[in-house]
Amino acid sequence: MLELVRGYATAVFDEVEPTDGLAGLSAELRSLSGVLVSSEMLRQALTDSQIPATERADVLRELLETKAGGPFVALVTFPVENERAAELPKTYGTLLELAEARVERSAAGQPLEPEPPIGRSGALERIRGYAERVFERIGDPAQVGVLEDELFRIARILEGSRDLRSALADQQVPLHVRLSLLAELLEHRARPETAVLVGYTIRAGRARDVAGAVEYLASLAVAERGRRVGHVRAAVELDDDERARLAEALSRRTRRTVELRVTIDPSVIGGIDVGVGDTVIDGTVRHRLEQLRDTILQLR
């Protein structure tokens, strides 16, 4: 399983644990994993690499949203968009193992433990995955800029205090103690989302360079602001209803609140071109999507 997916999954687990939703999430993952083992049709539908990953995720999201909670839908569609198609069944099995381990730890009242040791690039991928989930849950695009400012400011504070960096990196001190120290530092200084992101840098394996990890998070926030804008090229002006429906569709696709920027371009023939960040809407696979949808519907 990609470290990016591990980080994203950890953010979802953190999200549902305070509301006692871990057991339900684990049960839903167990059910999905069981279906993937027993149904060759579903495996083939979800692992068809000839269909773009974002399109397969769209179909799965559409089918699950009326039957499952938002965190579960996010948890199982994110790997579709990021893992190699052939790895999906194995990834879902690993997610189930992680969820069950969290349920056991929570039931026993045990404190959080650091993620398994890994190198710098792997730890940064975990952080990026965790941030992906935190960012997508922020409804107001303006708040992304607030997080960006807070993260840069916290990075400067950490860079300026060797004692603080040493205390946060001390592996002899239990993780929950170091997280409490960080929470005390950030209280009344940062939004909850900022505090959660900074705390995960310690859990993910970058405690020795927490200042650098927080600055990396700030750079992700900079990029995130660009993912909140939908750039549209259309042959003719869109009316208010068309804009609203397009914005809603893009928000569903990107799991973010999207603001449209429309450019009138007569060279666009027969529709519109749409891009949000590095996501491009492609209508050429619609027939394959309908086939995928029909295949999955047969299994319901």
142-177 tens-digit pLDDT: 888 899 999 999 999 999 999 999 999 998 999 999
* Coil vs helix vs strand at 208: helix
Question: CA triplet 102, 106, 112: central angle to 5 degrees?
Answer: 70
Helix (H, G, I), strand (E, B) or coil at 259: strand
CA distance 197 to 217: 8
Give one word for 152, left, alpha or beta, with left for phi > 0 and alpha for psi -120 to 50.
alpha
Q: In the prediction, which pLDDT does 271 show?
A: 63
User: What pLDDT was estimated at residue 282?
Assistant: 46
Return the axis-axis angle of helices 120-136 and 3-16, rounded to nearest 10°. Answer: 40
Cα separation, 214 vs 35, whole angstroms? 40
51 — phi, psi (to 5°)?
-100, 130
204 phi, psi to nearest 5 deg? -80, -10
Confidence (pLDDT) at 279 = 59
Predicted pLDDT of residue 283: 40
Q: How far apart are the first and last CA of the chain?
A: 27
Walking along the chain (300 residues) 10 residues at a time, the average pLDDT comes out as: 96 91 91 80 83 83 81 93 91 94 90 89 96 89 88 93 92 92 90 94 91 94 77 78 79 73 72 64 45 51
How many C-beta atoms lie closer than 10 Å to residue 67's C-beta?
10
d(CA 81, CA 58): 9
Contact 16, 125 (CB under 8 A): no
Q: How many helices (H) and strands (E) would you count in the chain?
A: 14, 4
CA-wise closest residue to 109 among 170, 176, 171, 169: 176
Contact between 278 and 253 under an 8 Å Cβ cutoff? The reply is: no
Q: Is 231 exposed, middle or buried (0-12, 13-18, 19+ CB in 10 A)?
A: middle
Domains in the chain, start-ordered, CATH in brackets?
Answer: 3-107 (1.10.520), 126-223 (1.10.520), 226-297 (no CATH)
Give, as one character, the DSSP assignment of residue 275: E
- Give residue-wise pLDDT tens across range 9-60: 999 999 998 888 899 999 999 988 888 777 787 788 888 888 888 888 888 8
Q: Distance (Å, rounded) from C-alpha 276 to C-alpha 117?
A: 34
Angle at 148 between CA 144 and CA 152, to 5 degrees: 170
